[in-house]
Amino acid sequence: MNGNILPFLLLTVVLIVAILGTGGYYFWRLRKSARAGWEDLLKRLIAIDHSGVDTVALDAIEPSGKRRTDGLARELDPDRIWELLGGLEGVQRLEANSRVLVDMAAYLQRSYPEAAAVAEELRLQAIELEWHVGWLRMAAEQGSLEFHINAYAQNAAIAYYLMEQRLQVLCQRTNVPTFRPLQETH
Amino acid sequence: MPLTNFDLLLWVAGFLGHLALLLILLLRRRARMFPVFTTLIVLNVTRTIVLFLINREGTKATYFYTFWSFAFADVALQFGVVYELASKVFRPLGEWASDIRTRLAVWVACSIGFALLLTWIPHPQSRFWMQVILLKGSFFSAALMSELFVGMMALSSIAGLSWSSHVAKIAQGLALYSVATLVFETANTSFGLTGNDRIYGQLSRLRMVLYLCCVMYWIVSLWRNAPPARRMPELVRRQVSVISQALDYRLDALRSEEEP
C-alpha cells in the first residue's frame, strides 16, 4: 500500500462529502430561488409584524417619512423597542426579509437582463442591509444589544415602515390584486 | 496499454460528440459567448485526430509525450472555462462585484491550499518518477476544480447573483465531471501505478463514459435557446424604485450611526 494513505483517504473523503453536501444544498437553493416569481417574493418581503414596526418607526418619523423634531420624538426606550419588534425572533424575521431582498435582486437580474444596473443596485443594498441586521442579531445573542438597539433596530423599523407604506400606495394606485392581503393587515 | 474494442468505441464516440458540440457552438453562435469553452472543445477534437494518427504511425514515446502535452493543455483550458464562467456570474455589470472580490479571492486561495495539502500527503507507488507527478497533478487539478465549482455556487447563492441558462448548464456538466474525476483520481493515487494498470485502465474508461454523458448534456443544452429576455414591466420598475429608496434611507441611517 502507498505511504500516508490513511490520512490522505480520510481527508479526501471529508472533502468529497463536503463538496457534495455543500454543492447539493446550494444547487437546491439556487433552483428554489429560480422558481420563485416576483409576486411571491413581494409577499414574503412584507410578511412582518406591522403594528410593532409602525410604532417603533413613528416614534422617530412622521407618517410622511420626515424625521420628527418635536419633544416626544424617540422617546421609546431600548427595552420597549426590542419588545415591539418581537425580540430576537423579530430581528430574525428582519434578517429573513433581507434575504428575500437578495432573492428579489437575483430574480430581476435573471428575468430582465436589460435592467442589470437596477438589479445590481438593489442587490448591493440588500447585501449591506443583511450585514447590518445580522450584526444586530449577533449583538443580541452576545448580550451587547443595549449599545446598538436604538441605532440599528429603530432605523430598520423606519425603513420597513416607509417601504411598506410606499409599496401600498403604489399598489392602490395601480390596483394590483397581489397586495390585497397587505391592505387587509392594516 | 493495448487498446480494446471498447476503447476504440469510446474514442470514436468522443470524437463525434466533440465534433457535434463544436458545430452547435458555431451554428448556434454560442462560441462568441464562450470562447474558452469553445477552444477546449476544439482542443479535444484536435487531440483525437492527432493521437489517432500517432497511434497508427508514430512511436510509443511520441504518443506518450503528445498525450500528456494535450492533457496539460486540457487542464489549463478547463481552469480557463472556470474563469470564463465565474466572470459571467460575478461581473453583472462588466466589473467584478465589489462585495464578492475578497470572498472569491479567499476561496480560491483556500482551495489551492487545501488541494496542495491533500496532494502533498500521499506517496503513490509507481515505476517512474514521472508517473508520480502525473498522478499528483491529476489529483490536484480534480480537487481544485471541484472546490472552485462548489465555491462559485455557494458564493453566487449567498450574494444573490444568478446564473444564466447556458452558463449554468456548462458549469453543471463540468462540476459533475470534476467531482467524479476527484473520486477516480483518489482511487488512482491510492492504488498507484505498479505495472498492473488494470484498475487505472478501468477507471479511465469509466471516466470517459461519464465525460461522454456530459458532452451529450452540453449538446442538448446548448442547442436549446435560453429563455427570451423580457423588458421589465413599468409596475415592477416602480416597485423596485420604492424598495430601493427605502433601503437607501435605512442604510444611510445605519452608516451614520456607525460613525464615531
Same structural domain, A16 and A71: no
Same structural domain, B34 and B107: yes
On whether the CB atoms of residues A99 and B160 are closer than 8 A, the answer is no
Q: Do A160 and B246 touch (CB under 8 A)?
A: yes
Same structural domain, B182 and B248: no
Same structural domain, A104 and A16: no
A106-138, pLDDT tens digit by residue? 888 888 887 788 788 878 877 877 777 777 777
* One pLDDT digit (tens) per residue for chain B, 260 residues: 567 888 889 989 999 999 999 999 999 999 999 999 999 999 999 999 999 899 888 888 999 889 889 989 999 999 999 999 999 999 988 889 888 899 999 999 999 999 999 999 988 887 777 778 888 998 999 999 999 999 999 999 988 888 888 999 999 999 999 999 999 999 988 887 776 677 888 888 999 999 999 999 999 999 998 887 777 788 888 777 777 776 666 566 555 544 43
Asked whether this complex has an ipTM greater than 0.85, the answer is no
Q: Who contacts B257 (Cβ-Cβ below 8 Å, separation ≥6)? A: A151, A152, A155
Q: What share of chain B is helix, strand, coil (3-state, %, to 5)?
A: 80, 0, 20
Q: Which domain holds residue B55?
A: 5-229
Task: Quote the CA–CA distance of B180 and B146 in Å, as a whole number.
Answer: 9
For B54-88, give one letter per residue: b (16+ CB within 10 A) or e: beeeeeeeeeeebeeebeeeebebbeebbebbbeb
Instruction: Tell me the pTM.
Output: 0.79
Same structural domain, B124 and B80: yes
Task: Quote the CA–CA distance of A107 and A142 in Å, as a whole number.
Answer: 34
Chain B, 86-105: which have a CB under 8 Å from a chain A CB?
92-93, 97-99
- Which pLDDT value is given to residue B198? 78
Q: List residues bridging with A61 in a β-sheet.
A: A67
Same structural domain, A29 and A92: no
Closest approach of A22 to chain B, Cα-based (Å):
7
Same structural domain, A14 and A105: no
Same structural domain, A63 and A8: no
Task: Quote the CA–CA distance of A98 and A125 in Å, as a whole number.
Answer: 9
Same structural domain, A13 and A51: no
- Which pLDDT value is given to residue B1? 58
Which of A4, A15, A167 faces B239 most closely, judged by CB atoms? A167
- A99 phi/psi in degrees, rounded to 5: -65, -35
Number of structural domains found in chain A = 2
Same structural domain, B45 and B173: yes
Helices (H), A36-179: 38-45, 50-58, 78-84, 87-111, 116-142, 155-174
What is the dihedral angle through the alpha carbons of A96, A97, A100, A101, rounded to the nearest 10 degrees?
-140
Instruction: Catalogue the E-assigned strands of B117-224.
Output: none
CB pairs under 8 A between A and B: 188
Same structural domain, A123 and A169: yes
Q: What is the mean pLDDT of residues A41-63?
A: 72
Picking from A40, A162, A139, A27, the residue whose alpha carbon sits closest to that of residue A91 is: A139
Q: Which domain holds residue A8?
A: 1-35
